[in-house]
Structure 1
Amino acid sequence: MESELGTALMAPLWMLLSFVALGVVCARRLAIDPRPIATLLIYVIAPLTFFRGLNLGGPTPNYLLLTLGLFLASSAICLLVHRLARVLFSAQEAAVVAFSAGTGNTGYFGLPVAMILLPPEGVTLYLFCILGITLYEFTLGFYISARGQFSIRQSLIRIARLPLVYAFLIALLVEAAGITLPPIVHQGLDVFPSTYTLLGMMIIGMTLGRVTLGELDLRFIAACAVIRYVFWPLASLLAVLGLSQMLPVTPELAMALLLLGVVPMAANVVVVSMELSIAPEKGAMAVLLTTLAAPLLIPFYLPWMIQLTGLA
Structure 2
Amino acid sequence: MIIFSIVFFKTVSVLLSVVIGFLAGKYSNVEKDSISSLLFYFISPIVFFTIPASTTLTLSALSVTVVTFVIATLLSLFSYYFFGKFWQDHTRNIIALSAGTANGGYFMLPIAAALFDDYTLSIYMMAVIGINIYECSVGFYICMRSLTNTTDSILKVIKLPILNAFFLGCLFSFCGFTLPDFLDDFIYNMKGSFSILGMVMVGLALSSLQKFEVDIKFTLATFAAKFLFYPLGVGLFIMFDHFVTKWYNNDYYNALKLLSTAPLAANTIVIANLQKFYPEKVAATVFLSLLFVVIYMPTMVSIFLSDLN
TM-score of the alignment, normalized to the shorter chain, above 0.5: yes
Which one of the candidate residues 33, 39, 54 is aligned to 1:35? 33
1:16-165 maps to which residues of 2 (within 5 A)? 16-89=14-87, 91-165=89-163
User: Which runs of no fewer than 5 residues in structure 1 stay unpaired?
Assistant: none
Name the structure 1 match of 2:226.
Answer: 228
Do the aligned residues in 1 keep the contact of 2:22 with 2:203 (CA within 8 Å)? Answer: yes
Letter in 2 for 1:263: A
Name the structure 2 match of 1:279.
Answer: 278
Do the aligned residues in 1 keep the contact of 2:3 with 2:302 (CA within 8 Å)? Answer: no
Q: Distance in 2 between matches of 1:69 and 1:252?
A: 15
Secondary structure, in 3 states, of the residue corresponding to 2:101? coil
Q: CA deviation at 1:212?
A: 4.9
Letter in 2 for 1:271: V
Q: CA deviation at 1:99?
A: 1.1
Q: CA deviation at 1:167?
A: 1.0
Secondary structure, in 3 states, of the residue corresponding to 1:190? helix
Using a 3 Å threshold, how does the CA distance of structure 1 residues 25 and 149 change in structure 2: closer, same or farther? farther
Using a 3 Å threshold, how does the CA distance of structure 1 residues 215 and 149 change in structure 2: closer, same or farther? farther
Number of aligned residue pairs: 307
Do the aligned residues in 1 keep the contact of 2:57 with 2:174 (CA within 8 Å)? Answer: no
Say if 2:183 is the partner of 1:216.
no
Letter in 1 for 2:165: A
Using a 3 Å threshold, how does the CA distance of structure 1 residues 39 and 274 change in structure 2: closer, same or farther? farther
Do the aligned residues in 1 keep the contact of 2:4 with 2:299 (CA within 8 Å)? Answer: no
Name the structure 2 match of 1:295.
Answer: 294
Using a 3 Å threshold, how does the CA distance of structure 1 residues 105 and 214 change in structure 2: closer, same or farther? closer
Do the aligned residues in 2 keep the contact of 1:38 with 1:203 (CA within 8 Å)? Answer: yes
Letter in 2 for 1:32: V
Which one of the candidate residues 238, 241, 262 is aligned to 2:239? 241
Q: CA deviation at 1:8?
A: 1.8
1:29-48, Cα deviation, whole Å (9 max, x unpaired)? 12434234333322222111
Does 141-150 or 296-305 show the bigger shift?
Answer: 296-305
Do the aligned residues in 2 keep the contact of 1:122 with 1:253 (CA within 8 Å)? Answer: yes
Which one of the candidate residues 168, 171, 187 is aligned to 2:169? 171
Q: Distance in 2 between matches of 1:304 and 1:78?
A: 26
Using a 3 Å threshold, how does the CA distance of structure 1 residues 100 and 166 change in structure 2: closer, same or farther? same
Q: CA deviation at 1:275?
A: 4.2
Q: Distance in 1 between matches of 2:244 and 2:180?
A: 42
Q: Distance in 1 between matches of 2:125 and 2:238?
A: 17
Q: Distance in 1 between matches of 2:301 and 2:232?
A: 11
1:270-289, Cα deviation, whole Å (9 max, x unpaired)? 23334444333322221221
Secondary structure, in 3 states, of the residue corresponding to 2:120? helix
Q: CA deviation at 1:13?
A: 1.8
Do the aligned residues in 2 keep the contact of 1:203 with 1:271 (CA within 8 Å)? Answer: no
Q: TM-score, normalised by structure 1?
A: 0.88
The percent of aligned pairs where both chains have the same amino acid is 26
Letter in 1 for 2:70: L
Letter in 2 for 1:51: F
Using a 3 Å threshold, how does the CA distance of structure 1 residues 26 and 148 change in structure 2: closer, same or farther? farther
Using a 3 Å threshold, how does the CA distance of structure 1 residues 204 and 221 change in structure 2: closer, same or farther? same
Letter in 2 for 1:168: F
Letter in 1 for 2:279: P
Using a 3 Å threshold, how does the CA distance of structure 1 residues 300 and 214 change in structure 2: closer, same or farther? closer
Using a 3 Å threshold, how does the CA distance of structure 1 residues 105 and 116 change in structure 2: closer, same or farther? same
Q: CA deviation at 1:56?
A: 1.7
Q: TM-score, normalised by structure 2?
A: 0.89
Letter in 2 for 1:63: A
Using a 3 Å threshold, how does the CA distance of structure 1 residues 37 and 272 change in structure 2: closer, same or farther? farther
Name the structure 2 match of 1:260.
Answer: 259
Q: Distance in 1 between matches of 2:21 and 2:305?
A: 36
Using a 3 Å threshold, how does the CA distance of structure 1 residues 149 and 18 change in structure 2: closer, same or farther? farther
